[in-house]
Amino acid sequence: MDHSTAQVYLAKSDPVMRRLIGTVGPCVLKPRTRRPPFESLARAIAYQQLNGTAAETIVRRFIKLFPANRFPRPNHLATVTDELIRGAGFSWAKIAALRDLAAKTISGVVPTGREIINMADEEIIERLTQVRGVGRWTAEMLLIFQLGRPDVLAVDDFGLRKGFERAYKLKAMPKPKELLAYGERWRPYRTVASWYLWRAAEMK
């Protein structure tokens, strides 16, 4: 995926972003476009409040509960008990979220991979946040990492705010509203700007 147009635009519109792009190099963000919304959200639920290694272990155990060791479809969740899912490492709250996700996917509240392509960002967020345990941040991560939407700025994300603090040499992290207001100059490429802020957060 070529982000060169976005990089040029951001470099022209914001001198700090220009310096950050020069330090980090080209944006290599590549969305996982073939992953259905149900799977993306189920994985997101698994990752909530856990580090990546622990969450991935839980996801692997969860997949092994189903035939052919493949990620289940929504209707497959009815074939396993809550106790089995708990044994894979999901908390009871996350199990309830998974059940609700499956039900709302089957009922059509959560769109299919084919449907979601033609939906506007805010419409997707409105639909997905009806699922228990799925907030705006989770929906925004799906927009970025699954759908590859170009203009998403998840202002509640800790990493983005930390990256902004470091890149712009602030004494404290910006409030979400402050980041949202500043980010107006990055439109319509706020997703790529976000990617660079995440890289800034990783710098020492």
CATH 1.20.1090.10, domain 37-145, yes or no: no
**Is 100 labeled as catalytic in the residue annotation?**
no
**Topology adopted by domain 4-29+152-202:** Endonuclease Iii, domain 2 (1.10.1670)
**So what's the pLDDT on residue 50?**
80
Tokens linked to 82? 């809550």
Domain borders along the chain are 4-29+152-202, 37-145
In three-state secondary structure terms, 102 is helix
Q: What pTM value is reported for the model? A: 0.87
- Determine the 3-state secondary structure of 203 from DSSP: coil
47 contacts: CB under 8 Å, gap ≥ 6: 55
* 10-residue stretch averages of pLDDT, the chain, 204 residues long: 94 97 96 88 88 89 91 94 96 96 97 93 97 94 93 94 96 96 97 97 84
Q: How far is the C-alpha of 48 from the C-alpha of 134, rounded, in Å?
A: 10
For the chain, the maximum distance between any two Cα atoms, rounded to a whole number of angstroms, is: 55
Asked whether the CA dihedral 171, 151, 30, 26 is positive or negative, the reply is: negative
Catalytic one of 2, 14, 121, 157: 157
**Burial class of 40 by CB neighbour count within 10 A (0 to 12, 13 to 18, 19+):** buried
